[in-house]
Structure 1
Amino acid sequence: MPRDDKLSKWMLGLVFLMFIGGLLVLNTGAPIREFSESENRMLEQLPSFSLEKGMNGTFTAHFEKYLSDQFVFRDFWIGVKSEADRLMGKKESNGVYVGKDGFLIQKFGKPEDGDLEEKAEAINGFAKSLPGLHTYMMLVPTAASVLEEKLPAHVTGDEERTYMEKVKEALSKDIAFVDVYPALRSKKEEYLYYKTDHHWTTRGAYYAYQELGKQMGFTPRMQADFRIERATDDFYGSLFSKSGFRHVLPDSIDLYLPKDDEAYSVEYASEKRSTHSLYERENLKKKDKYTVFLNGNHPLIKITTGSGDGKKLVVVKDSYANCFLPFLTAHFEEIYVVDLRYYEDRLDELIQENHITDVLLLYNVNTFLEDPSIKELASQR
C-alpha cells in the first residue's frame, strides 16, 4: 500500500477517534437535563443500581434510555437522522409517522402484558373505596385512529381502538365510560388534532365536552356561547421536535372564551401562587405554546368558579385535559386538577376533605397505557 494511502487512512482514523472522544468529553461534562422543552417530556435520569435490577435487566434498560435522553446535542442529531430518513422516502422517524396533508402522527405503542389490567384494577379499587362518588373515565383516542386516513399506506388505527375497548371492558360498571371516539370520528374533516403536536385541538376538546355533558347530566354550552380567539398561528409541537421532520407548516391554537364575563380563582398549590386566568399568555412566546392552557402540567391546581350549584370535581389527568378544563368552569363550583405523575399526597384524602362529588379520569390512550403512575391509585385507598 502506498505511503500516502496509509497516511490518509491513519489521519481519517485519528479524526474519527478525536470526534468520538470529543463527544465523550462533552457528554461527561454536560449538565443532566430533567425536562426536554422541545419534546415536552421528562427525560430519563441516572438510574440507581441494585442486584435485583441488574439481574432482571431493568437497570440496563433504564441506563440505555438515560444515555439516549442525555446525549449531547440530542435535538440536532434527531434532525439529521430524520432528514436522511425523509430523503430516503421513509414515513416514520422516532415513533412518529409522516402522514398525508402535512400531519405528523404519533405511533401507537402496545403495553406490556398485564399492564392494562393492573391499571384498570387500581382504578376499580379506588372508585369502590369511595362509595357515593360519581366516577367517570374519558379515554381519548389520538389522531392515529380518528384521522386514520392520514396515516401512511398499510398503517391503521385498529390496534389503538382495540386497546381502548379492552380498557372499557376491564373497568367496573360503576365507572361511567365516556366514549368520545364516535363524536370525534364524525367530525374528522374538522381541525381536531394538531399537525405537529400529539394533543387534540381546543375544537376537538369541545366536542368531547359535549359528550361529557350527556353522561354527567349538565347542559353544555354551544359554540355560539364562546368567543373563539386565535392565540397563535406559529405553533410547532412535540411531534415536530421528536420526529425531526421539518418540512411541515405550523399549527394554530384557539381559545374558547365565554362571551359572558366570568370570575375565576386559579391556585397552583406546589408553587403557592394564584391567578385569575385559565391561560398563561406569556407562554405563547415559548417553544411549547400549548402550555398557554393552565401553564402546562402541575401536581395540583384548584379552580374556584362560584358556579355549579355546589358540585365539586376532581380531574385526574394528563396534558390532554389542559385545554379541556376551561369548558367545565360553568358546571362546577370547585375543580381540583391532579396529575399523578407529580402529585405526592393522598388523593382519597383530597376527595374526602373537600367533599368532592365527581371524579373524572381524562387521559389520551397513549399516555394511559404508558404512564405507570396510574397504578399508584391502588395504594391511595
Structure 2
Amino acid sequence: MKERLKQLGSLLRAYPAAICFLVFITGFMVLDMCWPTREFSELENTMLDQKPAFSFQALFSNEWTADYGEYVKDQIALRDSWIDLQSRSESLLLQKAEIGGILIGKDRQLFTEMFTLTRTEQRTLPNNIKAVEQFAQRHGDKVTVLIAPSASAIYPEKLPFAAPMLDEDSWLDQTFAAVEAAGGNVLDLRSTFTEHKDEYIYYRTDHHWTTYGAQLAYEEFCAQQGLTPFDTESHTRVDVPEFLGTSYSKSRYWHTKADALTYYPLDNEMTIFDVTVPGQRTPKSTSGLYDTAKLEVVDKYATFLYGNNGYSEIQGDGEGSILLVKDSYGNCFAPFLTANYSKIGVVDLRNYPYGIDELIESEGYEHVLILYNFQSFKSDSYLYNINRDPIE
C-alpha cells in the first residue's frame, strides 16, 4: 500500500498539470451526467434542446449525431455560469463591443446590431412597405401607420465608435412617404423622441420602448386624432425593478444595469379569441390586461396583454372603436387606448393569418392603427397577411 502511495506521489510530482486536468474532466463528466435536464432557459429566454430520439437511420445520416451535439451543448452543467464567463471574457479581456448580436454602448445601453439588411430582409422590407401602402390605398385616412424608430436611431452617440449601422432613417422616410401618397396617415416619432432622449424612453437591456416611451407615442397619436390623453396622474403607477430584457438574454453582458418596468393597473377586461377559420372568432378566455405572474420571472415584458395573441378585444372607457395591428411594441401601448375608445381590437399577424378587411367590416372598426418597431417591420414575414383575402 505504501509503495502504491509512493508511486502515486511520484506521478503527481512528475505530471501535476495532466493529473489535475484528468481529475477535472472526470469530475465534470460525472457532474454533467447528474445535472438535471432543463426545457427552458429563463436567463436566455429560449427553449433548450432535448435529448433526440435514437434511430439507426438518423445515426447513419448524421442527423442524430448533430442533434445530440446540440443537446449536450444546451444541457451542459453550469450552463449559465459558463455563458457569464464567456461574456466577461469577451468584454473585459478581448474588449469586444458586440456580443451575441448585441452592441455594448455607452452608459451600459445595449443595442441590436443592424449593420445591413439580411438577404431575407432585402425582400421582406420592401414587401412590407408595399403591404402598408396597399392597405392605405383601400382604407384611406382611416389608417395610421406608426413605425417606431430603434434606440440606435435616437442615440447614435451611444453606439460603439464607428459602428456601421443601417440607414434606418431613409427606410422610414420611404415608408411614410408611400403611406401618405396612398391616402393614409403616418406618425413619425423621430423628432419627439429626440426631444425627450434624455428621458427613459428605451430600456437599457431590452429592444422595446419603455412604458413612458409608449406613452409619448400615444400622446402624439392623441394630438393627431384630437383625443384627450390617458391621465397618468389619476391612475396608480407601479414600477417593477430588476427587469432584464432580451438584449441582456442574448449578450449576458456582465456589467449591465437592470431596468424597471412600469404599468398602470386597470380594471378593463380583455377577451382573447380562438380564430381557426376566417370570420369565426370563439372567446377563449377573459381577463385583465396584465399577466402579473410574469412579473416574477425574467421576461417581465410578457406581462402586457398576456403576450402576442392572434386576436383580442379590450373593453375601453371611451367612445367608438379602433383596431390595433401590432408587433410586441403595441403590448404596452394598448392599455392607454382604453381612455379614448369603447372597444379596442388587437391583432398580431404572427398568429392571425387571415387578413383583416373582413374583421374591420364585421366588427365595425372606425380606425386602424398599424404599430411596429422598425426592427420587426424590416423582418416580419407575416405582415403581408394584412392584405390577404380571408377566403384564401
TM-score, L = length of structure 1: 0.77
C-alpha contact (below 8 Å) 1:176/1:215 kept by paired residues: no
- CA deviations 1:288-330 (Å, max 9, x no partner) are 111222222212211012422xx21111111111111111111
Structure 2 residue 292 is matched with structure 1 residue 296 = no
C-alpha contact (below 8 Å) 1:108/1:160 kept by paired residues: no
Identity %: 32
Alpha carbons of structure 1 residues 12 and 255: separation in structure 2 relative to 1, 3 Å = closer
Alignment of 1:126-275 (within 5 A): 126-128=135-137, 130-131=138-139, 134-155=142-163, 159-171=167-179, 172-221=181-230, 223-224=232-233, 226-227=234-235, 229-256=237-264, 263-270=267-274, 272-275=284-287
Aligned residue in 1 for 2:86:
81
Alpha carbons of structure 1 residues 233 and 137: separation in structure 2 relative to 1, 3 Å = same
Aligned residue in 2 for 1:286:
297
C-alpha contact (below 8 Å) 2:115/2:165 kept by paired residues: no
How far apart are 1:39 and its partner, in Å?
Answer: 4.5
How far apart are 1:133 and its partner, in Å?
Answer: 6.7
Number of equivalenced pairs? 348
Alpha carbons of structure 1 residues 199 and 219: separation in structure 2 relative to 1, 3 Å = same
Structure 2 distance, partners of 1:154, 1:98, is: 13
Structure 2 residue 104 is matched with structure 1 residue 95 = no
C-alpha contact (below 8 Å) 2:141/2:183 kept by paired residues: no
- CA deviations 1:240-269 (Å, max 9, x no partner) are 111021222211112245xxxx75221122
Which residue, 111, 115, 119 being the options, matches 2:124?
115
Aligned residue in 1 for 2:6:
none
Which residue, 366, 369, 374 being the options, matches 2:375?
366
- CA deviations 1:71-106 (Å, max 9, x no partner) are 445766543432221122111101111111121122
CA RMSD of aligned residues (A): 3.8
Structure 2 distance, partners of 1:37, 1:138, is: 31
Please say which of residues 75-84 and 333-342 is displaced more in the overlay: 75-84
| Unmatched tracts of structure 1, length 5 or more | 46-62
Q: Larger C-alpha radius of gyration, 1 or 2? A: 2
How far apart are 1:232 and its partner, in Å?
Answer: 1.2
Structure 2 distance, partners of 1:347, 1:273, is: 21
Structure 2 distance, partners of 1:366, 1:43, is: 25
Structure 2 distance, partners of 1:194, 1:212, is: 21
- Write the letter of the residue equivalent to 2:263: L
Structure 1 distance, partners of 2:70, 2:183, is: 44
Alignment of 1:325-336 (within 5 A): 325-336=334-345
Please say which of residues 85-94 and 336-345 is displaced more in the overlay: 336-345
Alpha carbons of structure 1 residues 326 and 157: separation in structure 2 relative to 1, 3 Å = farther
Please say which of residues 77-86 and 211-220 is displaced more in the overlay: 77-86
TM-score, L = length of structure 2: 0.75
Which residue, 104, 112, 121 being the options, matches 1:106?
112
Alpha carbons of structure 1 residues 372 and 121: separation in structure 2 relative to 1, 3 Å = same
C-alpha contact (below 8 Å) 1:148/1:156 kept by paired residues: no
SS in 2 for 1:249: coil
C-alpha contact (below 8 Å) 2:44/2:246 kept by paired residues: yes
- CA deviations 1:119-164 (Å, max 9, x no partner) are 1222222343x44671111111121111222222223766222322
Structure 2 distance, partners of 1:12, 1:85, is: 24
